[in-house]
């Protein structure tokens, strides 16, 4: 039982790390830079750990920038204020995201400030690859699950990336406290100590200062995504932009 729980927890946090570090903080906000080779390594690791629910970083970045520009207005690609049931909310997010992915894959969008790897993106997007990852997850559970009840966790592995996105976008804009009441959106800090989503649930803090690397503001708040990016900075795997 311990093995399967450990596998679940590891997949949860490693996949989450790549979404917050690579998709959100790097691709969407450019909070730091990295050398082209390092970018490829992180891109590959993102693909491997997101697996069946791989999210295209460029499409994610454009959608997320739109979210900041139009937070909790009608133009927000995912606002619980306008899509008040979770099915509508996730459907709207999915439709917007797929539209952007297709535009990138068909070269209808040619942004240069987002990470691209078209050949890998095509492989990652293919039905064959996604199915292969699903079979791997099932195989792991068949091998290690102590009872079939644990198979209920398999869908969480299959949809890991969108589940993380849903938790942040839904609860981060509907539930919690605010440090910055003057913000015109409905962003919230959902958890005082966000160990669940590596700092992503400090949406109110993040919307106040979208380029700030540390999403934590008050003494008790803890942004583990920031702490890890700080270690990567010290290891010189990523670098800060020079102050203008
Ligand atoms: Zn937000
Ligand atoms: Zn953001």
Domain-wise residue ranges, the chain? 2-234
CB 169 within 8 A of CB 197: no
138 CA from centroid of ligand 1 (Å): 33
Give the ligand at the shortest distance from the Cα of 209.
2
- What is the DSSP secondary structure assignment for residue 222, as one 8-state letter? -
Q: What percent of the chain has pLDDT above 90?
A: 96
152 CA from centroid of ligand 2 (Å): 31
Give the ligand at the shortest distance from the Cα of 29.
2
149 CA from centroid of ligand 1 (Å): 35
98 CA from centroid of ligand 2 (Å): 19
Give the ligand at the shortest distance from the Cα of 174.
1
92 CA from centroid of ligand 1 (Å): 15
243 pLDDT band, cuts 50/70/90, is confident
62-101 pLDDT per residue, tens: 999 999 999 999 999 999 999 889 999 999 999 999 999 9
212 CA from centroid of ligand 2 (Å): 10
169-228 pLDDT per residue, tens: 999 999 999 999 999 999 999 999 999 999 999 999 999 999 999 999 999 999 999 999
Sign of the dihedral defined by the CA atoms of residues 211, 212, 217, 220, in that order: positive
Number of H helices, E strands in the chain: 10, 0
What integer best gives the mean pLDDT of the chain? 96
Give the ligand at the shortest distance from the Cα of 25.
2
24 CA from centroid of ligand 2 (Å): 6
Q: Give, in order, the Cα–Cα distances in Å from 93 to each of 137, 166, 181.
A: 25, 9, 26
Give the ligand at the shortest distance from the Cα of 28.
2
Query: What pLDDT is stored for residue 244 in this prediction?
Result: 56
């Amino acid at each position: 039982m311990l093995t399967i729980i450990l596998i679940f927890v590891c997949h949860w946090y490693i996949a989450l790390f790549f979404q917050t570090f690579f998709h959100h903080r790097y691709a969407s906000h450019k909070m730091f830079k990295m050398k082209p080779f390092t970018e490829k390594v992180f891109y590959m690791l993102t693909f491997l750990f997101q697996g069946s629910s791989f999210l295209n970083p460029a499409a994610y970045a454009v959608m997320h920038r739109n979210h900041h520009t139009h937070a909790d207005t009608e133009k927000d690609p995912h606002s619980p204020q306008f899509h008040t049931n979770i099915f509508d909310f996730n459907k709207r997010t999915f439709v917007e995201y797929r539209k952007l992915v297709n535009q990138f894959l068909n070269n209808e969008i040619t942004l240069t400030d987002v990470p691209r790897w078209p050949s890998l993106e095509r492989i990652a997007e293919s039905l064959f690859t996604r199915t292969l990852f699903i079979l791997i997850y099932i195989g792991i559970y068949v091998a290690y699950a102590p009872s079939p009840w644990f198979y209920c966790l398999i869908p969480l592995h299959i949809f890991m990336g969108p589940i993380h996105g849903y938790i942040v976008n839904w609860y981060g804009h509907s539930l919690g406290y605010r440090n910055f009441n003057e913000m015109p959106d409905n962003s919230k800090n959902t958890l005082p100590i966000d160990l669940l989503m590596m700092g992503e649930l400090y949406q109110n803090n993040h919307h106040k200062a979208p380029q700030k690397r540390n999403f934590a503001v008050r003494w008790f708040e803890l942004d583990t995504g920031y702490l890890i990016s700080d270690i990567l900075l010290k290891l010189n795997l990523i670098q800060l932009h020079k102050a203008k």
